[in-house]
């Protein structure tokens, strides 16, 4: 893609404002963007995301220009929790979800852990199979209607602590990697309109359509249940051509739907973007806040800050390494402050991570089918041997010996009850 002149860029985005009080003279709406920093033109747009996300992007200054090239991973994935509404839809039609997964070469047990990941290419292959079997052309729309934020516990926890729709948008943008490691969406807030722009690499036509409709309909569904009367949809855009199910799509959204767009997007009113969600009549926000408080009760022996960190560590996605810096970023603080506050309450970050890993390992090893190598990787170990050494230090037993002891206890309890 050739560099985009500043005037063309301004023409397309002049009416959008930045999301936060810390704007950057960088924008990720376009894959490649030149901005003349010496022209006197000030473009203030905010890229909200992990610092690690920002440093993963290539930013070069060349001949008085800033050039940004977005890094794209060779293999993109999404959380298996994203499959839940689709699998639920299948079961309602009398189709065995396990059989469909197996027919696509996907281990059915992968969906038992919502934090596991599935490659986007595999998802597309699965969608083609589902469309053929169900003869349903609106799978993405139907599944998006059934989306449940509770399938993403950590994200639900974070959203439950948001005060406004602007905060919800920033949280979703910032922690999009909990859903998928594809490029995060951009949010643009104007005088009367806000727009969410979704990006993902092109795959097969059926997969492209289902993914686009799933993401957009899920955003629309969550907007309504999270923000209540504060959410007012205006129009929707898709990259793919008008499909055979365009009437169903139009009926679902109830607003103008555009096709053959440069990106997938959804627009809604900015009128209530900073209004307190407490007054939006959204039962979900109240529920999430109560669930957040209830989840903390598990760690009631701890003080408030340590409680919060333990909850986050317990819900941390298996595929993302647990680091002090990443956890600190999530709660909007520095790793030094995180260390200090934990020490004030009598804890060390490394010990909390160890406690969480041990608890998860002991729980997983109760089941004979648990793959120890995969468990080691899920818990952040580089290999099985490292995990086995650590587990023996923690418990005095090897994982195999611990599993045998747990299976033996289980059998004894069954025989006693009989």
Q: What is the CATH number of the domain that holds 396?
A: 1.10.10.60
Given a contact cutoff of 8 angstroms between Cβ atoms, the answer to whether 9 and 33 are in contact is yes
Give pLDDT, residue 266. 94
For residue 294, is it within any domain? no
Regarding whether 213 and 132 lie in a shared domain, the answer is yes
Residue where one domain finishes, among candidates 253, 283, 313: 283
Regarding whether 221 and 321 lie in a shared domain, the answer is no
Regarding whether 247 and 358 lie in a shared domain, the answer is no
Residue where one domain finishes, among candidates 16, 36, 69: 69
Both tokens of residue 52? 């690690």
Regarding whether 279 and 134 lie in a shared domain, the answer is yes
Regarding whether 330 and 209 lie in a shared domain, the answer is no
Regarding whether 181 and 200 lie in a shared domain, the answer is yes
Given a contact cutoff of 8 angstroms between Cβ atoms, the answer to whether 127 and 104 are in contact is no
For residue 230, is it within any domain? yes
Regarding whether 213 and 88 lie in a shared domain, the answer is yes
In angstroms, rounded to a whole number, what is the distance separating the alpha carbons of residues 104 and 130? 10
Give pLDDT, residue 254. 95
Q: How many domains does the chain have?
A: 3
Give pLDDT, residue 409. 56
For residue 183, is it within any domain? yes
Give pLDDT, residue 12. 36
Regarding whether 138 and 24 lie in a shared domain, the answer is no
Regarding whether 140 and 270 lie in a shared domain, the answer is yes
CA dihedral (341, 343, 347, 349) positive or negative = positive
Regarding whether 355 and 245 lie in a shared domain, the answer is no
Q: For each of the chain's 418 residues, which pLDDT tens digit applies?
A: 444 443 333 333 333 333 333 333 233 333 333 333 333 333 333 333 332 333 223 333 333 333 333 333 347 788 888 888 888 888 888 888 888 888 888 877 777 666 677 888 888 888 888 888 878 888 889 888 888 777 787 787 777 778 888 888 888 887 787 788 788 888 888 888 999 998 877 777 888 888 899 989 999 998 888 788 888 999 999 999 999 889 999 999 999 999 999 999 999 999 988 888 766 656 666 666 566 666 556 665 666 788 888 888 877 776 667 889 888 887 778 899 999 999 999 889 988 988 888 888 888 888 767 788 888 877 878 788 888 888 888 888 888 888 888 765 554 444 444 4
Residue with tokens 């969906």: 111
Structural domain including 45 reads 6-69
Beta bridge partners of 32: 69
For residue 291, is it within any domain? no
């Amino acid at each position: 893609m050739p560099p985009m002149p500043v005037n063309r860029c301004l023409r397309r985005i002049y009416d959008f404002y930045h999301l936060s009080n810390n704007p950057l003279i960088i924008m990720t709406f376009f894959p490649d963007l030149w901005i003349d920093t010496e022209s006197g033109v000030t473009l203030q747009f905010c890229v909200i995301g992990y610092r690690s996300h920002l440093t993963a992007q290539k930013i070069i200054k060349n001949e008085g220009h800033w050039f940004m090239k977005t890094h794209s991973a060779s293999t993109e994935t999404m959380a298996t929790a994203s499959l839940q509404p689709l699998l639920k839809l299948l079961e309602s039609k009398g189709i065995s979800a396990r059989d469909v997964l197996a027919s696509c070469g996907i281990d059915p047990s992968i969906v038992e852990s919502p934090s596991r990941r599935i490659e986007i290419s595999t998802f597309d292959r699965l969608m083609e199979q589902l469309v053929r079997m169900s003869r349903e052309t609106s799978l993405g729309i139907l599944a998006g209607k059934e989306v449940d934020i509770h399938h993403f516990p950590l994200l639900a926890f974070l959203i439950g602590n948001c005060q406004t729709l602007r905060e919800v948008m920033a949280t979703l943008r910032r922690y999009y990697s909990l859903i998928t490691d594809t490029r995060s969406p951009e949010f643009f807030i104007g005088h009367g309109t806000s727009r969410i722009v979704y990006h993902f690499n092109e795959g097969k036509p059926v997969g492209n359509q289902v993914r686009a409709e799933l993401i957009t309909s899920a955003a629309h569904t969550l907007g309504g249940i999270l923000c209540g009367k504060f959410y007012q949809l205006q129009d929707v855009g898709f990259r793919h051509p008008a499909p055979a199910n365009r009437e169903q799509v139009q009926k679902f959204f109830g607003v103008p739907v555009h096709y053959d767009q440069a990106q997938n997007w959804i627009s809604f009113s900015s009128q209530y973007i900073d209004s307190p969600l407490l007054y939006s009549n959204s039962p979900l926000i109240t529920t999430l806040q109560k669930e957040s408080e209830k989840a903390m009760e598990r760690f009631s022996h701890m003080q408030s800050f340590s409680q919060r960190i333990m909850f986050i560590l317990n819900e941390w996605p298996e595929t993302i390494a647990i680091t002090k810096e990443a956890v600190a970023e999530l709660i909007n603080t520095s790793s030094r402050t995180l260390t200090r506050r934990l020490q004030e309450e009598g804890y060390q970050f490394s010990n909390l991570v160890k406690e969480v890993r041990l608890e998860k390992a002991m729980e997983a090893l109760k089941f004979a089918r648990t793959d120890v190598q995969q468990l080691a990787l899920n818990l952040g170990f580089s290999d099985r041997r490292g995990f086995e050494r650590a587990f023996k230090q923690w418990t005095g037993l090897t994982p195999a010996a611990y599993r045998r002891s747990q299976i033996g206890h289980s059998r004894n309890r069954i025989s006693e009850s009989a």
